Structure formats: structure tokens, C-alpha cells
Structure 1
Amino acid sequence: MQKYLSRIQSTTLFKGFADREVQQALSCLQGTIKDFARKEVVFRKDDILDSVGIIIHGNVLLCKDNISGMRFIFSELGDGEIFGETALRLVQEHSGYEAVAGSECRILFIKINKIVRPGQDTCHLRGRIIENMLALLLENNRSIYQKLDLVSHKSLRDRILHYLALQTKKNNSACFEIPFTRSDLADYLTVDRSALSRELQRMAQDGLIRFNRNQFELLDAENQLRISDF
């Protein structure tokens, strides 16, 4: 745990914590670190969670099945972000969705009984941890609203442009690498993979983008950013 301390300390959950306070909080929350290979399942939709996950490195895809039984990705989370919020509920419930490693990743799992369960001894850092956790949850909600905004676009091209414009803002550059394979991107955009590949080729021919595998450049990015203001 010690060798990951600086990276853990840089996450939003432990913002403003000194080294000693991070160590105290991790001990109180029974923090454990686990590595996952790409495509490995972190938890399944029927699992009952007793911990939340903080991504130290890599990215995690949150997935659900639609009424036809087809998988779609409703959120993609990266370094420092939180998932498994159902563990925060006072009544135990199934997670309701699946978390899958989108790349090789390292995740810090923290037990939250001493933070949210009444009638138990609590960590003296409880207030600060809850404040930072709320900031993380609010950011997650913002990501979900962005996804709803994205899928509200009816045309495939508009969905792609909206997603790439968001990535431009996130990376502060018109050239960036997306965290998805082509199949995962299709699942995230809720479109057919073959149709997505064809449209990307057309967009490149029309001078809107350049791409090679998951490396993209959004041309005329300043104009495209206007469609993604949120």
C-alpha cells in the first residue's frame, strides 16, 4: 500500500489529506488494492457490494443489458474516479450493473461501514472523507448526464462528433487517445459496430477527423466544441 500512497493521495477522495492522514483513513476503511487485466469483470450485476472502488490507474466500463439482452456501456471511468456506489446504501441491494476493466487497471477498494453505517465507531476523518466522496459522486452524475445528452442526438455522425468533442475538452487537445476499442465505442454510443466503422471512414473523407485505431484528431475542434457545451 505504501508504494501507491502518492497516487492515492492525488485522488479526489483524499484531497487535502496529509500522508499520515491517508494511511489512517485507509486503515480505518480497510483499504485493499487489486489489479485487473483488460476485460476482467470487477463485479457483476447480481453482486451485493460492501466496498466502493477508487481507480488508481486505468479505466473501468460500467455496463448494463437492454431489454433485448444486448450490452451497452453507460459510463467509462478513469484515474481517481469512484464506482460501486450501491455499497453506500443502508439497505443491501444488488449492484444492478456490471463493472469491467476497460484496460489493465489497479483499483483501491474501501470498506464503507465505518463511514455510512450508524451505530458504529467511526473514523475521526469521517467528515472530510464524506465531503470528498460527495464531490466524486456529483462528478459521476455529471458524466451520466453527459451520456444522456450524447444519446439524445439522433444521427450517428452527431453522436460521434459530440463524443469526440467531449474527449477534446477532457484531454485539452484536439489529438487524443480514446479508452475504447471499436466494439466498446459502439456499445457506448449504442450503435451498430459496422455502421460506426463506416461512418468514421466517411467523416475522415469529409475532413472532420483523422484516426488510427483509437488515436483521434478532431479537425476544426473549436467549432465542434460548441456542440458539446454542458
Structure 2
Amino acid sequence: MTKDIIFSSALWAHMAAEEKESMYHCLDIRMKEYTKDSPILLIGEKVLDIGVLVSGQAVVVSENIEGQRNVIAFISPGDLFAEVYALSGKPSGVAVYAQTKVEVAFIDARKATTVCQSACPHHKQLIWNLMQIVSTKNVALNDKIQCLGQRGIREKVSVFLALKHNQYRNDMFDIHMNRQEMADYLCVDRSALSAVLSKMKEEGIIDYHKSTFSLKIKDRL
């Protein structure tokens, strides 16, 4: 079951079952468990490994000197984390916490990015997959910067929903966040966010139920 989750990660895309098994042993993957709310990675920590969440849920956050947290991303089974810091050699600029009991697979970044003597094509595929993952996350970070660059809460919400609409190519979509998580993502107060959403719903611009949103008048976002 553990291997199935690891192999479901985008890191192993476009590989046959036997190629995945070969890479698994070549990379000498280490497994580690963490209890709920415990840190998996701390800000300033030296990062040598790429993390793959195997079970549970985790969150990536930034923290200020007063301990206040800003949610960067949520991590689900199969998702990678810390790959940018592991590849760059820079100390971690974010922290990762377990939201539930979790199990993590750690992959040595140097082994992952260094082709073995046999130069097997599936190792080259893994490196290409890693490049795609980093690029995709960079796009997601740019999306968040677009949201946070807006002055008001309504403007942030409008850009956020427009980006989700473009992502899913549908007027109805699930943002996969509860209200507190959405507020943390946009760096706004939850009550103020709820008030803005209610106002936009009253105006007939959007409709929503929990995490599912529907755009009614897109040109008024």
C-alpha cells in the first residue's frame, strides 16, 4: 500500500511497474512517521531530501517572528514537498506541519537528480517529472502572488475565483478549501471574507455551497 501511494506521485509518471520498482531501490527511500501537529520541516533547516507524503494531511506555512502563520499550500498523499530547497541547497524558507498523523517518504535529492552509470531511461524520466513538478508549483505560486497583489478583499476573491475558473475550464468548480483555509490562503480575516462572499452572492455574481463555487456573472468579478 505504501509503495502504491509513492508510485501514484507525479514523480513516477510515465514509468512501467518494473521501472518504478527499480527506481525505488536505487533511490534508497527512507520512511518516517509524524504525529498530528508535529513539525516535519522547520524554517531555516538544511534540506537534503525531497519529501513525498504517503498518508495523512500536512500543510506548508510561512511564519513571522511572532509565530503567526500564513498558509502556502496543503499537502495530500502522493504530493511532493521541499523539493525546491533540496535542489537549490538553500535553507528552508517554509515550515511543514502534520495536520493528522502522517507517514513521509524521503528521497535523497542528489540520488534523484544524478543518473546512475547505466543511464537508464526511467531515471531520466524521473528527473524530467521532477522538473515538471517544480514548474507547476511555480505557476501555482504566481497565481497566489496575483491574488495577494490585490488591495481589497473583494479584489483578492475575484482574482482567486477567476484563476480557479480558468484552471478548471468550468463555471462550477471545487476550490478544495474550507472558509478558514481560503482566508489563510488570501491572507484575510475569515469573517471579512465571509461578508464579501455573501455580498457577491446577494448581487448574483456567484453562488456557493461549502467549497463548491459557481460563477453567474463572470464579467463582474
Using structure 1 for the length normalisation, give the TM-score: 0.75
- Structure 2 residues not aligned, in runs of 5+: none
Identity of aligned residues (%): 24
Q: Distance in 2 between matches of 1:151 and 1:60?
A: 22
Deviation larger for 42-51 or 143-152: 42-51
Which runs of 4 or more aligned residues in structure 1 lie more than 6 Å from their structure 2 counterparts after TM superposition? 35-38, 120-123
State the AA in 1 paired with 2:86.
A
Residue in 1 that maps onto 2:144: 147
Equivalent positions of 1:22-171 (< 5 A) are 22-32=20-30, 40-55=38-53, 60-66=58-64, 69-77=67-75, 80-85=78-83, 86-89=85-88, 91=89, 93-101=90-98, 107-116=104-113, 124=120, 125-171=122-168
1:209 aligns with 2:206: yes
Question: How far 1:28 sits from its partner (Å)?
Answer: 1.5
Residue in 2 that maps onto 1:219: 215
Question: How far 1:134 sits from its partner (Å)?
Answer: 0.7
Using structure 2 for the length normalisation, give the TM-score: 0.78
- Structure 1 residues not aligned, in runs of 5+: none
State the AA in 1 paired with 2:41.
F
Aligned residues of 2:53 and 2:105 also touching (Cα < 8 A): yes
Change (3 A) 1:83 1:4: same
Aligned residues: 219
State the AA in 2 paired with 1:83.
F
Deviation larger for 18-27 or 34-43: 34-43
State the AA in 2 paired with 1:219.
L
Q: Distance in 2 between matches of 1:25 and 1:12?
A: 14
1:184 aligns with 2:181: yes
Deviation larger for 167-176 or 18-27: 167-176
Q: Distance in 1 between matches of 2:186 and 2:32?
A: 29
Give the secondary structure class of the aligned counterpart of 2:72.
strand
Deviation larger for 16-25 or 170-179: 170-179
Q: Distance in 1 between matches of 2:166 and 2:6?
A: 25
CA RMSD of aligned residues (A): 3.4
Q: Distance in 1 between matches of 2:49 and 2:208?
A: 38
